[in-house]
Chain A
């Protein structure tokens, strides 16, 4: 009875907010539910017959969720997922409420939610997931979370409040160390990369975020580095070694802007795989999704087949045809992600035309100092045409100026977009590197003229 009443009241709130045009109506039902029946989300989650999977980490949550949902759906699951912008506790709770009828039932068989790193501590105890995936931990919007070690501890607290199987990145020392929070340390699956061709591993480690032993604080010794602090490491005092991944990329066959072909080893057996997502960072997302899907009972063939046709999540690596030009939207939000985008796409392009749009709204993180940790200097000599835009266009222009790069200043996103398109020849690709809210605003501008897959935020 209480469930039905709370659901009726909160669903009405969601509808009313949407009707009144105040945002997507996503967070408010969650807020209402917390007031009326704090156990509502737990009850709804418990009603999903095949349980809940949570995805967290600094970079790749949205893409991994999309890949994993495709694999689970290919197996026949009906998967309930949240939108990228709704990954705080309220957003997850609201997603559950919206999908439920008044009896607290949904047609979904599974819940798959991406969860903000600092919110896992609140969401995990509530939903009691069967699996928790932790992708990586990089510096990101530190103005909200404090420091990386703090973020890891918060995730650990979330893990410790569940009996979930952990899917952890073996190549990220701080993530791998989270196994110590698991109720059963054997209930952990690691994924990782065994080796990369030299030209794909980023040599620059100036932005390595956690390269010390989580136990004794000694600097880890790395035999391989793929990017930032991801690689093969061991503590010189033998406290902590890279765990052996069960799911590992063993050979890279093809890597270009259209995707990656590779060999993956699963419990010792080797298989051919491909994804239509470029970049080493997306390789990790695919390995994480594969590890989780396998643990959820999806056959390897089904997973790999569904991956090969999954496209990127919106704004992550999104190609948009607009006014006869191709626009490639590449979200940037922290130094590691931005460095990967620059290395994967911009450095390899010939005289690329690039719009960089930096906003500092709450959802972007108020602090823009991370721009100085991104090696924009790599674009020197590439003859790149650069446009600086967004609320912090002035900061972006200044950063490029000190990197020896000239740029056009167009603070208004609409003007910047016009300028980019004007500079592009017919059929030429233009690159857009936006922060989160700049990406949403740009999609809105583009969407006025062209149909984009609908995005609710």
Chain B
């Protein structure tokens, strides 16, 4: 079997704000530094895509205008993506696509847009925009990032959040929950981008992907001095 790791990038043309492409670069580099080959396949609106050979799925945030068009296209791929989730394919969804992986998005005008339903969560357009540096305690340790969203995501009781907010807003102004995690699918509001400064999370996605092919797979440790220094700085900046 080829050792090439295949990463699917959801809607790079529409969902590409706040430097989220840095997450892909991080996955690519952390594979390359360990001697793996990697390939990015982009999922574009209206274009056929085969999720069966994919090791990791990533998608970022976009402007509201982009999100509407993406939502419709995503629903048509719902079965394929839900199957990949059930098969344990690791996924990272940031901001806009995190919202679309929930049950529904209700706009500030009251319009209900259905989502994939992978997360037991519903997002409502809120009046208050949640903006600023954010720090979260999670099973992957302390995560740092920058959030910028007006959608408030409410988790159902059985939905596990990604972590607990230490500084910032997270899913909504009240719950102190940040993100959601179901099997190997992770949703979050953290930009920054999230992966460069949270290498433990990046490596979790990579190791999960590699172990789906080979249960014995291990990741060689990297020197994360720079990553952790940048994370420390970010955590200490004002919100």
Chain A residues packing against B (C-beta within 8 Å): 139, 142-144, 146-149, 206, 211-212, 217, 219, 360, 366-373, 391-395, 397-399, 401-403
A360 vs B235: C-alpha distance in the bound complex, in angstroms?
A: 13
Binary per-residue interface labels of chain B (73-105) against chain A in the complex, 1 for a CB within 8 Å, 0 otherwise: 000000000000000000000000000000000
| Residue in contact with A372 in the complex, picked from B22, B132, B226, CB distance below 8 Å | B22
Q: Considering only CB atoms, which chain A residue lies closest to B16 in the complex?
A: A206
What is the CB-to-nearest-CB distance from B200 to chain A, in angstroms, rounded to a whole number? 15
What is the CB-to-nearest-CB distance from A405 to chain B, in angstroms, rounded to a whole number? 12
| Residue in contact with B233 in the complex, picked from A146, A148, A395, CB distance below 8 Å | A395
| Residue in contact with B19 in the complex, picked from A212, A219, A366, A372, CB distance below 8 Å | A372
With A148-B63, A217-B69, A373-B21: A398-B227 Cβ-Cβ less than 8 Å: yes
A148 vs B61: C-alpha distance in the bound complex, in angstroms?
A: 13
6 residue pairs bridging A and B, Cβ less than 8 Å apart: A149-B63, A367-B191, A369-B193, A373-B21, A391-B233, A397-B226
Q: Is A398 in contact with B196, judged by CB distance below 8 angstroms?
A: yes
Q: Is B132 in contact with A395, judged by CB distance below 8 angstroms?
A: no
Q: Considering only CB atoms, which chain A residue lies closest to B237 in the complex?
A: A360
Residue B148, interface by CB 8 Å: yes
Known pairs A149-B63, A217-B65, A373-B19; list 13 more (Cβ under 8 Å). Answer: A146-B148, A147-B17, A366-B132, A367-B146, A368-B146, A372-B22, A372-B25, A372-B193, A392-B233, A399-B22, A401-B226, A402-B26, A403-B25
Q: Is A369 in contact with B192, judged by CB distance below 8 angstroms?
A: yes
Interface residues on B, range: 35 or more
Q: Considering only CB atoms, which chain B residue lies closest to A396 in the complex?
A: B230
Q: Is B196 in contact with A143, judged by CB distance below 8 angstroms?
A: no
Q: Considering only CB atoms, which chain B residue lies closest to A397 in the complex?
A: B226
A403 vs B238: C-alpha distance in the bound complex, in angstroms?
A: 27
Q: Is A142 in contact with B227, judged by CB distance below 8 angstroms?
A: no
Q: Considering only CB atoms, which chain A residue lies closest to B192 in the complex?
A: A369
Residues of chain B within 8 A (CB-CB) of A403 are 25
Q: Is A369 in contact with B22, judged by CB distance below 8 angstroms?
A: yes
Residue B133, interface by CB 8 Å: yes
Residues of chain B within 8 A (CB-CB) of A402 are 22, 25-26, 29, 196
Q: Is the interface of A mostly helix, strand, loop or mixed?
A: helix
A142 vs B230: C-alpha distance in the bound complex, in angstroms?
A: 21
With A369-B192, A395-B230, A397-B226: A146-B21 Cβ-Cβ less than 8 Å: no
Q: Which residue of B21, B196, B197 has the most chain A CB atoms within 10 A of its CB atom?
A: B196
Residues of chain B within 8 A (CB-CB) of A397 are 226, 230
Residues of chain B within 8 A (CB-CB) of A206 are 16, 21
Q: Considering only CB atoms, which chain B residue lies closest to A214 in the complex?
A: B65
Residues of chain A within 8 A (CB-CB) of B193 are 369, 372
Within 8 A of A (CB), among B121-177: 129, 131-133, 146, 148, 150
Q: Is B63 in contact with A367, judged by CB distance below 8 angstroms?
A: no
Binary per-residue interface labels of chain B (13-55) against chain A in the complex, 1 for a CB within 8 Å, 0 otherwise: 1001111111001100100000000000000000000000000
Q: Is A146 in contact with B238, judged by CB distance below 8 angstroms?
A: no
A217 vs B150: C-alpha distance in the bound complex, in angstroms?
A: 21
Q: Is B69 in contact with A366, judged by CB distance below 8 angstroms?
A: no
Residues of chain A within 8 A (CB-CB) of B129 are 146
Residues of chain B within 8 A (CB-CB) of A399 are 22, 196
What is the CB-to-nearest-CB distance from A380 to chain B, in angstroms, rounded to a whole number? 13
Q: Considering only CB atoms, which chain A residue lies closest to B239 in the complex?
A: A366
Residue B112, interface by CB 8 Å: no
Residues of chain A within 8 A (CB-CB) of B6 are none
Residue B219, interface by CB 8 Å: no
What is the CB-to-nearest-CB distance from B67 to chain A, in angstroms, rounded to a whole number? 10
What is the CB-to-nearest-CB distance from A138 to chain B, in angstroms, rounded to a whole number? 11
Q: Is B226 in contact with A369, judged by CB distance below 8 angstroms?
A: no
Q: Is B146 in contact with A369, judged by CB distance below 8 angstroms?
A: yes
What is the CB-to-nearest-CB distance from B119 to chain A, in angstroms, rounded to a whole number? 23
| Residue in contact with B148 in the complex, picked from A367, A371, A395, CB distance below 8 Å | A367
Q: Considering only CB atoms, which chain B residue lies closest to A207 in the complex?
A: B16
Q: Is A394 in contact with B22, judged by CB distance below 8 angstroms?
A: no
Q: Is A142 in contact with B148, judged by CB distance below 8 angstroms?
A: yes
A206 vs B9: C-alpha distance in the bound complex, in angstroms?
A: 14
What is the CB-to-nearest-CB distance from A66 to chain B, in angstroms, rounded to a whole number? 31
Q: Considering only CB atoms, which chain A residue lies closest to B191 in the complex?
A: A369
With A206-B21, A398-B197: A366-B226 Cβ-Cβ less than 8 Å: no
A367 vs B192: C-alpha distance in the bound complex, in angstroms?
A: 7
Residues of chain A within 8 A (CB-CB) of B66 are 212
A404 vs B18: C-alpha distance in the bound complex, in angstroms?
A: 21
With A206-B21, A369-B19: A212-B237 Cβ-Cβ less than 8 Å: no
What is the CB-to-nearest-CB distance from A210 to chain B, in angstroms, rounded to a whole number? 8
